[in-house]
Structure 1
Amino acid sequence: MLLKSLKTLLFFISFLVLIPSANAKVWQVTAQDSLQNILNETQAGDQVKLLPGKYLGNFIINQSIELSGTDATLDAQGKGHGLLINAENVTIDSLRIINWGDNLTDQNAAIYSDKNSNGIIIKNCHLEGDTFGIWLQGGEHNQILNNTIIGNDQMRSADRGNGIQISNMKHTEVRGNDISKTRDGLYVISSTNNVLAQNTVHDLRYGIHYMYSYYNKILNNYAYNTRAGYAMMNSRYLEIRGNVTENSHDYGFLINFIIHSNFEDNVIKNVWTPADKKVLGRDGKGLFIYNSGYSTLRNNHIEHAEIGIHLTAGSEGIKISGNTFIDNQVQVKYVSNKLQEWSQEINGVHEGNYWSNYQGWDMDGDGKGDVPFEPNDGIDKLFWKYPEAKFLMDSPAVLLLRWVQQQFPVLKSPGVKDSYPLMKPNLIKSNTIKSDLVNSKELRQSVSYE
C-alpha cells in the first residue's frame, strides 16, 4: 500500500514538472519588436530567440526562460546593466552585449544577477565593455561556458571591472572562457566548491584572483601578459593543478595566506619586471609564497624568472618535491633562520627537485645527486637585506667570501636544503601549455596593466 501511494505521488510530481515545458512557447523576436515587452510576457520554460539585429536598451528577465540569438546584439547605450537576471534557471546563449554602463559603484555589468542566482547558464556569448562582464552573486549550480569577454585597455586597470566575478557562490562551473583587457580575468570571493577550468586570461592585471574561498578547483587554465597570472589570497583547501602562466611582470603565482591546498603540475615561465617599471625590491617572482603553509608543492615547472620561488612571512609546513627550476636569476629566496628540507619521501622513495644550476654528480645512477643542493648562502641573505649592493654580486671579494663559506660549513646560516636533487627535470602533465603562441612577436608587445 505504501509503495502504491509512493508511485502515485511520483507520477503527480512528474506531471507537474512537465506542465511548463508542455506549455512552453517559442518567441521569434526582431530588432523592430519591443524585446522588454516580450520578456515581460514570457512564462517559465519559454524560449526567446532573437533574429539578427541590434536591440537597444537595458533588459530584465523575471522568468525561468532561455534567451538566445543569431547575430543579435544587445546595446545598453552606455548605462546600467546590459541584461539583469532576476529569476532562477535562466539560460543565456550566443548573445553579443556591448556598451553597458561604466559605474563601478553600481556594479554595472553586461550580465548581472544578485537575486536567485541558481541554475543560471551563460554560454557562447561575446561581451565587450568598460566594467564587469558577468557578475553572479548568492547562488549555486551555475555554468559560465565558452564566453569571450573584452574590456577596455584605454582605461586605468583600477577603473575597469573584472571579466567574470562570482561572489558567495557554490557549485558553479566556469569553463572555456577567453577574457582580456579587464581588471582581473576571473575574480572569486567567499565562494565554495566551484570549478574554474580551461579558461584563457590575458592582457590584464591578475588572471585568476581568489579571496576567502574554500574547496575550489583551479584546473588547466592559461594566463599570459599579466601583472600576476594567479593571485590566491586568504583561502584554503584549493586544488591548483595543470595551470600555465607566461609573461608576467610581478608574479607567476602570488600565494598569500593559503593553507591545506595542493599545488601541482603547474607551469610558470618568463616572470620579469620590465626595466622601465623597475624599483628597488620589485623583482619578477615565479612563485611568491607569503604567510602560507601546510600544503603540497609538487611537480611544478618554474623557468626564467628573476626569482624562481620566494618564501617569507612564516611560510612553513609545505611539502616541496619534484619541482623543476630552470634558468631563474635567483632560484630561491627564503627569508628565515630555520633549516628547510626540500625533499620528500613518497612511497618509500626520496624525491627532491631539479635545479638547472646544480653541479653535483650521480655516481650510483639512481637519478638523484649524491651531494645535497643548497641554493642560498649567507652572501645571498646579505644582498636580500641590502639590495642596493647587488652590483657587487660578482665582484672578486664576494666570490672569495662564497668560497670561504663553502670550505668552512660552520659559517653557513640555516636555509633551504635539497638532500635528493634530481638529475633530470620532471615531465609536466599539464595539457594547457601554449609556449609557441606566447613566444610569438605579437604577444610579446607591451601591455598596460597599471
Structure 2
Amino acid sequence: MRISIFNIFCLTVCLFMVVGISHAATIKIGKDQKVKTIKNGIAQARSGDTLIVFQGIYKEGNIIVDKPLTLLGSENPVLDGEKKFEPISIKSNNVTIQGFTVQGSGHSSIVDIAAIKIYNRSHIKVIDNKLEDNFFGIYSQNAKHVEIRGNRIQAYGVAEQLIGNGIHAWKSDSIHVENNQIFGHRDGIYLEFVTHTHVINNLSERNLRYGLHFMFSHNNSYMDNVFRANGAGVAVMYTRNVHMENNKFEENWGDSSYGLLLKDISDSEIINNEFDRNTTAIFMEGSNRIHLEQNKFNNNGWGIKIQASCMDNVFKDNNFMQNTFDVATNGTLTLNNFENNYWDKYEGYDLDKDGVGDIPYRPVSMFSMLVERYPTAMLLFRSFMVTLFDRTEKLIPSLTPEGLKDEKPRMKSIKV
C-alpha cells in the first residue's frame, strides 16, 4: 500500500510538471510577425514564456518586464531610448535579456537611468548585449543572483558628472560579472554595499574615473581582468575580505592615478597580478593584513606607495623591475613585512649561492622620501647629487625607515 501511494504521489508531481511546461510558449515579435511591439508581446505573455524579437529598431519608450520571461534578440534588434527613456526596466524575478542592442537612454541628475535596470529582484540574466551611448549601462538595484555576461558597453563621457557607470551594483548580493567589455563610462564597474560577487575576465578601458570601484563591499573576488588606460585602475575602499588574482593593471597614468588604490581595507589577498606602466602601481592607506604575493611591478613611476597608517601587510615573492621608485612611504616607522622579493636595483652579493642576497635590501631611497614631501624635487631626478645622496644613505641610513627592508632579497626574478 505504501508503495502504491508513493507511486501515485510521484505521478501527480510529474503531471503537474508537464502541465506547467505545456503553458510555456514562444511569442515572435517583429514587423513581419503577428505581434509588432515588445510591449504587446509582454502583455500577451504568461510567466515562463519566451519572446523572440526579430531585427529592427524598436522605439517603445520604457519597456517594463514585470513577469518571469526570456527576451531573446534575433539578428541584433535595437531598443532605442531616444535620449528620453530607460529602455528596459526589470521588475520581476527570473528574467533573461539576451542578444539586443540597447542605445540612447535618457540622462538625469536626479534619477539613475540605465539601459537595463534591475529593480529589487533576483535570478536575472543579462547576456550578450551591446549597450551604446547610455547614461548608466547595466544597473542592479537591491538585487540577488544576477548574471551579467558577455556584454559590450560603450559610452562617450567627457566629464564624470555627465555620465554614469558601465556596470553598477548597489546593495546587491551574489552578482556574477564575466567577460564584459566596458569603455568610456565614469567607472567601468562600480560595486557599493555588494557581497559574494565575482568579477571575472572583463576588459575595462578608457573610463573617466576607475576601471573597477569597490565601496563597502565585503567577501568578493575579481580575477583575470584587464584595467587599462582609465583615470585610475581599481579602487577598493572601506572593504574586507577581497580576493584579487591574475589581473592586469596597465597604463593608468595621471597626477593622482593608480593601478590599484587600497583605502581602509583589511584581510585581503593580492596574488599574481601584473602592474605595468602606471603612475603608481599600488597606493595603500589605512590598509591592514593584506597579503601581496607573486605580483609583477614593471615600468611604473612608483611600485608601491605605502602610508604609515598601514600595518601587518606582507609582501612576499614579488618582482620589482624598472620602476622609477620601488617603494615610497610618508613616515619613518613601518609595521609591514617584505620578504623574498626580487629587486632589480639590488646590488648585494650571494656568497653561499643559495639564491638569496646576503645583505638586506632597503627599497626606500632618500630621494623618494624627499619627493614625498616636496614633489617639485622630481626636477632633480637622475642628477649626480641625487645619486650621491642615495648612495650615502645606503651606507649610513638616517632618513629612510630602518625597519622597511627585505631581509632575504632574491638574486633572480621569480617566474609568475
TM-score (norm. length: structure 1): 0.85
> Does residue 242 of structure 2 align to residue 254 of structure 1?
no
> Does residue 273 of structure 2 align to residue 266 of structure 1?
yes
2:283 matched residue in structure 1: 288
138, 156, 159: which is aligned to 1:156? 159
Q: 1:63 deviation in Å?
A: 1.0
> Does residue 333 of structure 2 align to residue 331 of structure 1?
no
Q: 1:382 deviation in Å?
A: 3.2
Aligned partner of 2:272: which letter? D
2:39 matched residue in structure 1: 36
Distance in 1 of aligned mates of 2:283 and 2:3: 61
> Does residue 346 of structure 2 align to residue 358 of structure 1?
yes
Superimposed CA distance per residue, residues 37-63 of structure 1 (whole angstroms, 9 cap, x where no aligned partner): 221121111010011111112211111
Distance in 2 of aligned mates of 1:256 and 1:15: 57
1:99 matched residue in structure 2: 104
Aligned partner of 1:321: which letter? K
Distance in 2 of aligned mates of 1:310 and 1:248: 15
Distance in 2 of aligned mates of 1:100 and 1:383: 46
Superimposed CA distance per residue, residues 145-177 of structure 1 (whole angstroms, 9 cap, x where no aligned partner): 101010123x31331111111112212211000
Aligned partner of 2:349: which letter? W
Q: 1:135 deviation in Å?
A: 0.5
Aligned partner of 1:73: which letter? V
1:240 matched residue in structure 2: 244
Comparing 398-407 and 104-113, the one that deviates more: 398-407
Q: 1:137 deviation in Å?
A: 1.5
Give the SS at the match of 1:260: strand
The answer to whether the Cα contact below 8 Å between 2:260 and 2:283 also exists between their aligned partners in 1 is yes
The answer to whether the Cα contact below 8 Å between 1:264 and 1:299 also exists between their aligned partners in 2 is yes
C-alpha distance 18-427 of structure 1, shift in aligned 2 (>3 A): farther
The answer to whether the Cα contact below 8 Å between 2:310 and 2:335 also exists between their aligned partners in 1 is no
Unmatched runs of 5 consecutive residues or more in structure 2: none
Superimposed CA distance per residue, residues 251-288 of structure 1 (whole angstroms, 9 cap, x where no aligned partner): 101111110101111111111xxxxxxxxxxxx21100
Give the SS at the match of 2:40: helix
1:436 matched residue in structure 2: none
76, 82, 89: which is aligned to 1:84? 89
> Does residue 410 of structure 2 align to residue 422 of structure 1?
yes
Within 5 Å, give how 1:289-438 maps onto structure 2: 289-340=284-335, 342-344=337-339, 352-409=340-397, 413-428=401-416
C-alpha distance 262-5 of structure 1, shift in aligned 2 (>3 A): farther
Distance in 2 of aligned mates of 1:105 and 1:169: 21
C-alpha distance 9-362 of structure 1, shift in aligned 2 (>3 A): farther
Give the SS at the match of 1:302: strand
Give the SS at the match of 1:258: strand
2:73 matched residue in structure 1: 69
Give the SS at the match of 1:226: coil
123, 127, 144: which is aligned to 2:127? 123
132, 144, 147: which is aligned to 1:143? 147
Unmatched runs of 5 consecutive residues or more in structure 1: 272-283, 345-351, 429-450
The answer to whether the Cα contact below 8 Å between 1:75 and 1:82 also exists between their aligned partners in 2 is yes
C-alpha distance 353-12 of structure 1, shift in aligned 2 (>3 A): farther
Give the SS at the match of 1:390: helix
The answer to whether the Cα contact below 8 Å between 1:377 and 1:415 also exists between their aligned partners in 2 is no
C-alpha distance 102-47 of structure 1, shift in aligned 2 (>3 A): same
The answer to whether the Cα contact below 8 Å between 1:342 and 1:419 also exists between their aligned partners in 2 is no
Comparing 88-97 and 394-403, the one that deviates more: 394-403
**How many correspondences in the alignment?**
407
Q: 1:396 deviation in Å?
A: 4.8
1:216 matched residue in structure 2: 220
Give the SS at the match of 2:143: strand
**Quick one: percent identity of the two aligned structures?**
27
Distance in 1 of aligned mates of 2:9 and 2:170: 38
Distance in 1 of aligned mates of 2:6 and 2:332: 68
Q: 1:403 deviation in Å?
A: 4.0
C-alpha distance 131-8 of structure 1, shift in aligned 2 (>3 A): farther
Aligned partner of 1:414: which letter? E
The answer to whether the Cα contact below 8 Å between 2:332 and 2:400 also exists between their aligned partners in 1 is no
Give the SS at the match of 2:185: coil
2:26 matched residue in structure 1: 26
Give the SS at the match of 1:370: coil
Distance in 2 of aligned mates of 1:266 and 1:333: 20
C-alpha distance 70-262 of structure 1, shift in aligned 2 (>3 A): same
Q: 1:69 deviation in Å?
A: 1.0
Distance in 2 of aligned mates of 1:186 and 1:4: 56
C-alpha distance 263-403 of structure 1, shift in aligned 2 (>3 A): closer
Superimposed CA distance per residue, residues 234-263 of structure 1 (whole angstroms, 9 cap, x where no aligned partner): 111011111001110111011111101011
2:181 matched residue in structure 1: 178
Give the SS at the match of 2:122: coil
Distance in 1 of aligned mates of 2:400 and 2:141: 53
Aligned partner of 1:320: which letter? F
The answer to whether the Cα contact below 8 Å between 2:223 and 2:245 also exists between their aligned partners in 1 is yes
The answer to whether the Cα contact below 8 Å between 2:308 and 2:334 also exists between their aligned partners in 1 is no
Give the SS at the match of 2:299: strand
Q: 1:362 deviation in Å?
A: 1.9
The answer to whether the Cα contact below 8 Å between 1:290 and 1:311 also exists between their aligned partners in 2 is yes
Greater relative CO (CA pairs within 8 A, separation 6+): 1
1:435 matched residue in structure 2: none
Q: 1:427 deviation in Å?
A: 2.2
